[in-house]
């Protein structure tokens, strides 16, 4: 899930918003302005309902952001790098560059999100109670009460023991701690996620048949999302199991063609060495150390009038923004890093120099070979 536009950085973490957040905003805005708040506090001017609903929708999105920020901060404190946070249709998503190294770290990272939502719910409820006790600001009290309820509901729903919810991460941490196997723990959590997803789909279809069409369709959408993500996480766990013990050197393309950082974009695009076989090339500095990665797409985006003066160093992805494993590093931990990185490539370095490149296609090639090998099939029987 890629952000449509950026909100900047919070606590050093990139925060973005997907266009589908507008759907949440509109649903809350219309639902409260023409339904909940108007029914609970009739007789007010229309603009008051719309203003209160808009402010409530903004505070709900900020609550989602606080939930995800808490995950990111605790993850970072436990040695797990955070790529970014994106708010979207079904909530928020904090993209972690790697996995927790211990069950305890997994427990802390997963548990803080529902806890923050619960605390926010309690604070909104207290604010509603205090404001209602001293004033007759009915709309404000109604908005605060709604925010209290939705945050508590968010905490409870996310605590359900099924992937990809936070409760699924908690379940995974517990099974991992009990069995010592993170792969088995992932299998349990993803299986629970698929069961929950089908339950939500079934309940949603029942509500549609019962006449609650909007609520039913919403539950069906959430159920399908839970099933899809849980299935994807199960597949990723199987990939990690397949790649266990495999070094990066077995998947990388060794000695890739490199581009000097001072090469102009025009020369880069015109040189036959860079035009046919690959779509991205490592960039090296004057001392032959890795400087970054340049893509044909990025170079082609430079206006023709500027290609004679602009260099590949001006359009490359800096090496600091890329995964940079060593040849003898394990391949499995590189998989989530490639998925999280926009370039979907890793530069394999040895002493700061490029000795290989790994792409998502290279990972797929290795996993396909391992899946079809008799040795692997005998291991799974």
- Domain assignment present for residue 20? The answer is yes
Backbone phi and psi for residue 71, each to the nearest 5 degrees, phi listed first: -60, -45
- Neighbouring CB atoms inside 10 A of 320's CB total 8
Partners of residue 197 on adjacent β-strands: none
CB 208 within 8 A of CB 303: no
Does residue 105 sit in the same domain as residue 17?
Answer: yes
Range of the domain at 88: 5-159
Q: Does residue 68 have an active-site annotation?
A: yes
Does residue 261 sit in the same domain as residue 295?
Answer: yes
Write the pLDDT tens digit of every residue in 45-87.
Answer: 888 889 999 999 999 999 999 999 999 999 989 988 787 888 8
Write the pLDDT tens digit of every residue in 268-295.
Answer: 999 888 876 788 999 999 999 999 999 9
Domain boundary among 183, 212, 242: 242
Q: What pTM does this model have?
A: 0.76
- How confident is the model at residue 377, as a pLDDT? 44
Q: In the 8-state DSSP scheme, what is residue 354? A: E
- Domain assignment present for residue 379? The answer is no
Domain boundary among 129, 159, 189: 159
- Considering 39, 68, 106, 337, which one is annotated as catalytic? 68
Does residue 12 sit in the same domain as residue 127?
Answer: yes
Please give the C-alpha separations between residue 184 and each of 240, 243, 367, in angstroms, as whole numbers: 12, 15, 19
pLDDT beneath 70: ranges in the chain: 1-3, 90, 97, 135-137, 276, 373-381
Does residue 139 sit in the same domain as residue 206?
Answer: no
The label of the residue with tokens 């340049």 reads: 294
Say which CATH number the domain at 263 has.
3.10.580.10
Residues 128, 141: Cα–Cα separation, whole Å: 5
- How confident is the model at residue 376, as a pLDDT? 47
- How confident is the model at residue 274, as a pLDDT? 81
Residues 359, 363: Cα–Cα separation, whole Å: 7
- With residue 281 as reference, give the H or E element that holds it: strand 280-284
- With residue 50 as reference, give the H or E element that holds it: helix 46-77
Q: How far is CA 69 from the centre of its chain?
A: 12
- How confident is the model at residue 138, as a pLDDT? 77
Domain boundary among 114, 129, 159: 159
- Neighbouring CB atoms inside 10 A of 360's CB total 14
Backbone phi and psi for residue 287, each to the nearest 5 degrees, phi listed first: -95, 10
Does residue 224 sit in the same domain as residue 260?
Answer: no
**Domains identified in the chain, total number:** 3
């Amino acid at each position: 899930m890629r952000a449509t536009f950026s909100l900047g950085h919070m606590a050093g973490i990139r925060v973005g918003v997907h266009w589908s957040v507008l759907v949440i905003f509109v649903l809350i805005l219309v639902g409260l302005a023409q339904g909940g708040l108007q029914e609970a506090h009739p007789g007010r001017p229309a603009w008051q309902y719309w203003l209160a609903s808009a402010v409530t929708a903004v505070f709900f999105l900020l609550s989602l952001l606080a939930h995800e920020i808490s995950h990111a901060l605790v993850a970072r404190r436990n040695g797990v790098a955070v790529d970014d946070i994106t708010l979207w249709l079904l909530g928020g998503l904090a993209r972690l560059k790697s996995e927790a190294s211990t069950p305890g770290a997994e427990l802390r990272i997963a548990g803080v999100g529902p806890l923050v939502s619960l605390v926010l719910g309690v604070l909104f409820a207290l604010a509603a109670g205090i404001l209602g006790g001293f004033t007759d600001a009915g709309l404000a009290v109604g908005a605060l009460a709604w925010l209290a309820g939705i945050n508590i509901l968010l905490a409870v729903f996310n605590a359900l023991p099924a992937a990809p919810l936070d409760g699924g991460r908690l379940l995974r941490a517990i099974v991992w701690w009990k069995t010592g196997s993170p792969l088995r723990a992932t299998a349990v959590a993803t299986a629970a996620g698929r069961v929950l997803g089908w339950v939500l789909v079934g309940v949603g279809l029942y509500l549609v048949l019962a006449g609650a069409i909007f609520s039913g369709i919403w539950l069906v959408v959430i159920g399908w999302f839970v099933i899809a993500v849980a299935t994807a996480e199960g597949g990723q766990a199987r990939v990690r199991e397949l790649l266990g013990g495999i070094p990066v050197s077995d998947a990388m393309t060794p000695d890739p063609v490199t581009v000097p950082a001072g090469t102009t974009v025009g020369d880069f695009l015109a040189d036959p060495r860079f035009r046919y076989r690959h779509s991205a090339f490592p960039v090296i500095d004057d001392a032959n150390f890795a400087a970054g990665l340049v893509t044909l797409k990025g170079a082609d985006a430079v206006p023709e009038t500027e290609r004679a003066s602009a260099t590949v160093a001006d359009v490359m992805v800096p090496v600091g923004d890329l995964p940079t494993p060593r040849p003898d590093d394990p391949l499995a931990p590189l998989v989530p890093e490639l998925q999280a990185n926009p370039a979907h490539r890793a530069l394999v370095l040895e002493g700061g120099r490029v000795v290989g490149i790994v792409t998502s296609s290279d990972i797929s090639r290795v996993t396909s070979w391992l899946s079809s090998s008799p040795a692997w099939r005998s291991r799974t029987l």
